[in-house]
Amino acid sequence: MQEQENAISIDWKAIFTKAFQLAIFISIAVFAPYFGSQLITGTIVNAMLFIAASIMGLEYAVMLCFIPSLISVSVGLLPMILLPMIPFIIGGNILMVYVYSKFERKSFWVGAVPGALVKFIFIWAAGMILANFVLQGVAKNIMLMISWPQFATAIAGATLAFIFLKIVRKKHGTRN
């Protein structure tokens, strides 16, 4: 009887910890676009995605990939003309956390740099195809949003995440 009770026991502490962490990450994902600057917002969002993937795992990070892009449109950070890019931005973020999660066990940067590069290439390629075949005549400054800033904010976010994770792991005595 005791063995059956242990087999179905629920680790409430772990559940509440994950729920609390997820609530923090969702809050960051929701409020980051309100900074109004792609470079600031992108850096914060990418840092949050790298940290979420490191702390909570790929599944939770993927869930978080959907929120910032949708909020960015609603606050005007992403121009309405780029609305068709949202699935590709979300997809780029998912690819970034996927690649990062697959390689970060070797080293943070072995996962982060290829993840950032894959995100940039995917979003840039999708944007160029969309701009040339669907959104003909889109202003160059609008298309700039889906070019090098995607890589720059991903690397800046990775740097922020690396610093944060180093501090947390040092404080808690876990792996570097």
Instruction: From residue 58, give the alpha-carbon distance in Å to each of 22, 70, 87.
Output: 12, 20, 19
Question: For residue 176, what is the DSSP state?
Answer: -
Answer yes or no: is pLDDT of 113 > 60: yes
Which tens digits make up the pLDDT trace of 58-108? 999 999 999 988 888 888 777 787 888 899 999 999 999 999 999 999 999
Q: What is the pTM of this model?
A: 0.87
Which tens digits make up the pLDDT trace of 5-23? 556 789 999 889 999 999 9
The pLDDT assigned to 57 comes to 95
Signed CA dihedral, 75, 149, 41, 52: sign only: positive
Q: Tell me if 64 sits within 8 A of 25, measured CB to CB.
A: yes
For residue 5, is it within any domain? no
For residue 36, is it within any domain? yes
Answer yes or no: is pLDDT of 174 > 80: no
Question: What backbone torsions phi and psi does residue 139 show, to the nearest 5 degrees?
Answer: -60, 145
Task: Work out the number of other CB atoms within 10 angstroms of the CB of residue 113.
Answer: 18
* Distance in angstroms (rounded) separating the CA atoms of residues 107 and 111: 7
Which tens digits make up the pLDDT trace of 123-165? 999 988 887 777 666 666 677 788 899 999 999 999 999 999 9
For residue 86, is it within any domain? yes
For residue 81, is it within any domain? yes
Kindly report the CATH number assigned to the domain that includes residue 74.
1.10.1760
For residue 147, is it within any domain? yes
| Domain hosting residue 135, numbered range | 12-170
Confidence of residue 4 (pLDDT cuts 50, 70, 90): low
* Distance in angstroms (rounded) separating the CA atoms of residues 40 and 116: 16
Domain count, the chain: 1
